[in-house]
Structure 1
Amino acid sequence: METPDGAVRLMRELDWNLLRTFVVLGQSRSITEAAHRLRLTQPSVSTALKRLEDRVGRRLIDRKPGHFELTKAGQVLYREAVDIQGSILRLSTQMREMTDEVTGHVRIALASHVICPLFDAVLSEFHAEHPKATLSIDVLSSSEAVESVSGRFSSFAVCLVNRRNPNLEYMRIYREFFGLFCGPPHPLFGRENLTREDLAGHSAVSFDTDRLQDALKPVAVMRAEANMEDLIVGTSGHLEEVRRMIIAGLGIGPLPVHVTKRDVQDGVMWQLPPYDTPPAIDVHVVWNPKASLNRAEQSFLDRLLKRIEATPMEDRTYR
């Protein structure tokens, strides 16, 4: 167990860059992947990990062929390092607010498929009330969006939720329904009175999260019930790219029904069964209650949450 003197020595000698490297290691599946994300060589990352393990006196990652996992000590250090990183990243914003007239920057992590009139209305109202506030919207996969909020990179996220992090807060912003679609080159395009059996054996394209253990589990079940080919020939974390592959005829793919309405009307996409029982997917606002928000961030989040609470669920359900 670390002695008080040892703790002081650790605080004095620990290099922040080692912790930054470890955060990326904790979010990666291998040292090679972490090195790629950090734009460093693999030996450099391995050396940094060994130095950190030497500093803290604990093995932090169990690594062997086919296995790469944080130890219990590594999990503890990862949680603390994420908090430290988030605090450091926010220092410049907080200092700027104290020394000039900037009202604050809001950084929103958004899943690529988020089409929500309620959110757009709040965005417009916020800008009208705080014209000097600045915003940036990062389009990420839902898991990356949650990580961004957990690490305090983002003010909040709007995304799908699979497993809830007990350190974060969640509120459902809307519900959407997913259907299956194909593009003009597909043999089922334009055919009416199709049944689920007509989809059997056809290849698919989909989202990275279209798995039985992930956020789009209902979509994976819908595809399985249609006895479609197991092989998914194309995947992406972005709706625009899944849409591109569907229209190009690579395979049948899932998209939110309310998002595809224009494409169906324009004749570039065709909806397939099931028509009457499409799976429902909930989209949430996710925020970190431990994050120290600036005035602009707090104002935007408060406005959004109040608008959600004041809007009946049926008006936040897009069919």
Structure 2
Amino acid sequence: MDFNQLRTFLEVSRNKSFSKAADKLHLTQPSISAQVRSLEKSLGHRLFERGGGKVTLTAAGRVFEPYVEDCLSRHNHIKLVLDDLSRSPRGSLTVSANDSTALYVLPHLFSRFKKQHPRVALTVNRTERVRTVELVLNREVDFGVVSLPLTEPRLKTEIIHEDELVLVASPRHPLVTGATITLEAVSKHSLLLPVRSRRREMLDRLFSERNLIPRIGMELDSNELLKRLIMADAGVGFLPLVNVAAEVRSRQLMVLKVKDVHIPRKLALIWHKDRDLPVACQMFFKVATGSWLSESLLAYGLA
């Protein structure tokens, strides 16, 4: 028994004719007859009386008909709901990322997504990079956003944002001269650094490769606090460009050009490679990967 057989049964019943049902369904009469015979065989009951040029329902057919109507009605309703879900997904979706990404990258992305798909509830899980990877691997969140490179064969990655780490200082700092400076000159001034993190390892390696020992002013576990201290003239520091775009635009911070230093940064959407993404996740992926360029950088004229 299948839905085509049920539709055929109803058309024969309503038209009281195999030939008229065939015309309505754009099938041949032998095909209609074969479907009805197959349906009757699967049910173990005759559904139609055929004779004298008339087609009428048997007692079993009269009992069967309202159930067929209800079944097809429910089937059509299911299709409508699923089609509507494809056009306008609903449900919930959780993304894990560190504080910096949650504050400066995800808001623009979430705003775009919510405008297109308002019925999906979005949640941000703010945690450090290693924990984000764990949550995605354990399928406790739908997506993570982390910096690349990432070597984890169980995860898929897609770049959604690119900028760079830049050295920033308050406009009053002596290094702000308008000229390109050397990393050696930077090492002689109070440097504010993040505590244990992938970025800290990168910066330590940068100075080590130049045989320089930086003058560490403070070590902080918050990018926001680090930025505020730089603005208060407590030192200089490297931060993602997207994090300081507004302050650079308003000239509360200045980007210093450091000779032979370019530190690109790529953020990627990550998800478990063995997971079948529901419709809401597919739509989020489409929005998130639509453009690498951060809207915030465009808004502040820094891209």
What is the Cα-based RMSD across aligned positions, in Å?
3.7
Tell me whether 1:207 sits opposite 2:191 in the alignment. no
Residue of structure 2 in register with 1:274 after alignment? 258
Counterparts of 2:242 and 2:280, CA distance in 1:
31
Match of 2:235 in 1: 251
Map of 1:260 onto structure 2: 244
Residue 262 of structure 1: how far off its partner (Å):
2.8
Task: Give every structure 1 segment of 4 or more consecutive aligned residues whose post-TM-superposition deviation is greater than 4 Å.
Answer: 115-122, 215-218, 316-319
**Is residue 2:157 matched to residue 1:170?**
yes
Matched residue of 1:206: which SS? strand
Look up the match of 2:74: none
**What's the offset of the Cα at 1:166?**
1.1
CA apart distance, 1:195:
2.1
Give the fraction of aligned pairs with identical amino acids, expressed as a percent.
Answer: 18
What does residue 125 of structure 2 align with? 138
User: Structure 2: any 5+ residue segments left out of the alignment?
Assistant: 1-84
- TM-score by structure 1 length? 0.53
Residue 269 of structure 2 is matched in structure 1 by 285
For the residues of structure 1 that align with 2:207 and 2:252, how far apart are their CA atoms?
21
- Supply the distance in 1 between the matched residues of 2:104 and 2:214 (Cα, whole angstroms): 35
**Change in CA separation of 1:121 and 1:252 when aligned onto 2, cut-off 3 Å:** closer
Which structure 1 residue ranges, 5 or more long, are not aligned?
1-100
**Which residues of 2 match residues 107-118 of structure 1 at below 5 A?**
107-114=94-101
Shift of 1:228: 4.8
Deviation at 1:179, TM superposition (A): 1.3
1:235 to 214, 220, 234: 220
State how far apart, in whole Å, the 2-side matches of 1:179 and 1:156 are.
27
Q: Tell me the amino acid that sits aligned with residue 239 of structure 1.
A: N
Paired position in structure 2 for 1:193 = 179
- Equivalent pairs counted in the alignment come to 209
Q: Is the 8 A contact 1:201 1:227 kept in 2?
A: no
Q: Which amino acid aligns with 1:150?
A: L
Specify the code of the residue in structure 1 equivalent to 2:181.
Answer: T
Q: Greater CA radius of gyration, 1 or 2? A: 2
Cα deviation, 1:147-194, whole Å, max 9, x if unaligned, reads 2212222211122134421111111223211111223675x2644436
| Aligned match of 1:179 | 166
Partners in 2 of 1:282 and 1:181 — Cα distance? 19
Q: Distance in 2 between matches of 1:277 and 1:200?
A: 13
> What is the TM-score when the length of structure 2 is the normalising length?
0.56
Q: Which amino acid aligns with 2:192?
A: V
Call closer, same or farther: CA 1:241–1:162 in 2, change over 3 Å: farther
Instruction: Describe the shift of the 1:162–1:206 C-alpha distance in structure 2 as closer, same or farther (beyond 3 A).
Output: farther
